[in-house]
Structure 1
Amino acid sequence: MSHRHCFALDLKKNTELINEYEAYHQAVWPEIIASIKEAGIEDLQIYRVENRLFMIMEVHDSFSFEKKHAADAANPKVQQWEELMWNYQQALPTAKPGEKWMPMKKIFQL
């Protein structure tokens, strides 16, 4: 069985930076794809409107945010990717220090 999680994050309001960010996501590094799959993430999609990002994650029952964070912290390539992406991203106004992708609350389902 899988579970869905949704998150939001902003990009810096700069067309050139937004285009670069999208280009990186057309050719995500293979090590990043591997880390996503190894964590039990079965599907991951990112959508954009203006500078707002919306991420949908479908995860396997075995997925754990704590294990994913620990694995990411121990993976130099993931850390390099995250540092690079932070050049384009900016936290939502209500984010805590160091918080990037913020979980979204589901408010409706048909």
Structure 2
Amino acid sequence: MSSQSHLWSATSSTDSPAASGNRPGLDSRTRYPGRRFAQIVKLKPEFVDKYKEVHAAVWPEVLKQIKDCNIQDYSIFHDPETGILFASFKYVGYDYAGDMERMRENPKVREWWRMTDGMQESLVPGAKDSESGEPSWWKPIEEVFYTP
């Protein structure tokens, strides 16, 4: 997930589908097929049950903002042995940086991040929280294989 804050940071213009050249030949009638992202963070062991509980009932405002910002197929997995949370999603819009800025501007999303950040430990040196920007709270990880 390139360099980003939490799951939703703005990235440089080179991360947009248009700037990265991922849209050759696309016109206004063709939808961008999406860019997949993955990130990790560590869940504090004392918050495993609470984290699962809050994610079983994600606030409607947060879910709406995720959808409005062109995020699809969003999942978070937990490895109880290491405490690692693995998140993946697909971005299907055309302005990733702009959509992530809109995500960050939502007060309910920021409130959600403050709650969930307290349950996590970032794996990124110097990261403070999801709202602070760089360095990112969730550690971006590189995709090395994919088959649709």
Taking structure 2 as the reference length, the TM-score comes to: 0.65
Which protein is bigger by CA-based radius of gyration? 2
Which residue of structure 1 aligns with residue 90 of structure 2? Answer: 58
Cα RMSD of the aligned pairs, angstroms, is 1.6
8 A Cα contact 1:39 1:63, kept in partner = no
How many pairs are equivalent?
Answer: 106
Taking structure 1 as the reference length, the TM-score comes to: 0.85
Amino acid at match of 1:33: L
**Cα deviation digits, residues 52-84 of structure 1 (max 9, x gap):** 0001111104250x2233213321111110111
SS in structure 2 of the partner of residue 108 of structure 1: coil
Which residue of structure 1 aligns with residue 73 of structure 2? Answer: 43
In structure 2, list runs of 5 or more residues that go unmatched: 1-32, 129-135
Q: What is the Cα deviation at residue 42 of structure 1?
A: 1.6
- How is 1:1-110 mapped onto 2 (pairs within 5 angstroms)? 1-14=33-46, 17-50=47-80, 51-64=83-96, 66-92=97-123, 94-98=124-128, 99-109=136-146
In structure 2, the CA distance between the partners of 1:73 and 1:3, relative to structure 1 (3 Å rule), is closer
Amino acid at match of 1:25: H
8 A Cα contact 2:69 2:100, kept in partner = no
8 A Cα contact 1:47 1:53, kept in partner = yes
Amino acid at match of 1:10: K
In structure 1, list runs of 5 or more residues that go unmatched: none
Looking at structure 2, the residues matched to 103 and 76 of structure 1 have their Cα atoms a distance apart, in angstroms, of 24
In structure 2, the CA distance between the partners of 1:74 and 1:61, relative to structure 1 (3 Å rule), is closer
